[in-house]
Amino acid sequence: MNTPKFSIVSPVYHGEKMLEELVRRIAQAVAPLTSDYEIILVNDCSPDASWDKIRQLCAADTKVKGINLAHNFGQPYAITAGLSYAQGDYIAVIDCDLQNKPEDLPALFLKAMEGYDIVSARRVHRDDTFLKRLSSAVFHRVYDFLSGFSTDKAVAEFGVYSKRIVKVYCSIPEYSRSFVELIHTLGFRKTGIDVMHDHRLEGKSSYNLSRLLRLSFNAIISNSNRPLQLAVTLGFIMSLFSFLMAVYNIFAKFAGWNEVAGYTTTVFSIWFVGGLLLFMMGILGLYIGKIFDQVKGRPVFIVQDTLNI
């Protein structure tokens, strides 16, 4: 039986000081399994000297390959770029900040070779800030409710994926994409392995609250139409409530009850209904915006330079 080829894809952003250690530890972990492997570093237009460091690493080792994107597309798109160029029978995705430990790669690869198309690394303990852990938990709760799926908050991009599921993922022409949510909706055989989540080697995460919220909205809107269903349900409830209030007022008039017109009540009712309408129009606008992005047909990523590919 031929030894399968392994590919390791890592999206790079603010990774200049971590890349050398990343490549060293990946090579050290994977080399005992096979000599037929490649490490693909995708520079997502990082503002530091990450691309220069990738050049140095590629010059020193032909197993290291570099992809330089034309501008900052975002992590899901950088991952898609790396997967599109990967030649391995099994492809791992790992962040460049070394919070995902390269030493876990052999166990993930060996599990995948048992016939699994997705082997996710489950972070039994997350070495993240309280805010990031809280935002992750809230996102998964909301996403599960709105999408109807059951996701695992301990699972992120880190994992090993078979060539056939990567091929299907890369063939999907969706412009708005979230890697984890999209690839796990494809089906196929999947499992997980518990791993330890390490501390970040250098600097701090670029995912601030604003960016996390934007990614969360993108994932939910891209994978579920339930917010539209909820908006319709809420509109129906408000209409029913207004109809019942009208019936009550008619009955009160003929019953001779004294009703005093309330200016404040009227104003707040208008504001409430107006705000509700704007909220529902905003949800509808988000979906229309996604349709607009999709029909433009722009590429998911644009590659400016490649090295050793």
Report the share of the chain in percent with pLDDT over 70.
67
Q: Map residue 44 onto helix, strand or coil.
A: coil
- The highest-level CATH class for domain 6-224+300-307 is alpha beta
pLDDT score of 287? 76
* Of the candidate ranges 99-103, 122-126, 168-172, 297-301, the one whose mean pLDDT is the lowest: 122-126
Asked whether the predicted pLDDT for residue 209 surpasses 60, the reply is: no
| Neighbouring C-alpha atoms within 13 Å toward the C-beta of 275 | 6
What number of other Cβ atoms are within 10 A of residue 58's Cβ?
Answer: 20
Q: What is the pLDDT of residues 62-86, one digit of tens each?
A: 999 999 999 888 888 899 999 999 9
**Region label for 14, one of left (φ > 0), alpha (ψ between -120 and 50) or beta (otherwise):** left
Regarding predicted confidence, which is higher, 125 or 95? 95
Q: Pull the structure tokens for residue 277.
A: 């309408």
Alpha carbon distance 226, 142 (integer Å): 11
3-state DSSP call for residue 169? Answer: helix
Q: Of residues 181 and 22, which shows the higher confidence score?
A: 22
CB contact at 8 A, 64 and 46 = no
In the numeric block, which tokens belong to residue 25? 């530890």
Tell me what pLDDT residue 156 has. 75
Q: Domains of the chain: which residue ranges?
A: 6-224+300-307, 226-295
- pLDDT the model gives residue 234: 72
Q: What is the pLDDT of residue 256?
A: 64
**Encoded tokens for 15:** 């990774």
Beta bridge partners of 69: 303
pLDDT in tens, 110-148: 998 998 999 988 877 655 565 566 666 666 666 666 655
Please give the DSSP secondary-structure letter assigned to residue 115. T
pLDDT at 81: 93
Mean pLDDT of 95-124: 88
Check if the beta carbon of residue 14 is closer than 8 Å to that of residue 49: no
Give the CA angle between residues 30, 36, 40 to the nearest 5°.
70
Examine the pLDDT at 289 and tell me if it is beyond 90.
no
What pLDDT sits at residue 188? 85
Q: What is the pLDDT of residue 91?
A: 94
Q: What is the rounded CA–CA span in Å between residue 89 and residue 265?
A: 66
Q: What is the pLDDT, as a whole number, of residue 85?
A: 94
Please report the pLDDT score of residue 215 as a whole number: 64
Residue 244 has a pLDDT of 72
Tens of pLDDT, residue by residue over 153-208, are: 667 788 999 999 999 998 888 777 778 878 888 888 888 888 876 665 555 555 55
Which residues are CB-neighbours of 50 under 8 A, at least 6 positions away? 12, 13, 14, 15, 16, 19, 43
- Please write down the HEC assignment for all residues of 229-247: HHHHHHHHHHHHHHHHHHH
Which pLDDT tens digit goes with each residue over 114-123?
989 999 888 7
- Report the C-alpha gap between 183 and 186 in whole angstroms: 6
Type of residue found at 53: K
Quick count: other Cβ atoms within 10 Å of Cβ 107? 16
CA separation for the pair 242, 248 (Å, rounded): 10
CA distance 39 to 82: 10
Q: What is the mean pLDDT of residues 278-300?
A: 74
Selection from 166-180, 214-228, 268-282 with the highest mean pLDDT: 166-180
Which pairing describes strands 118-125 and 303-307: parallel, antiparallel, or unpaired?
Answer: unpaired
Confidence (pLDDT) at 92: 94
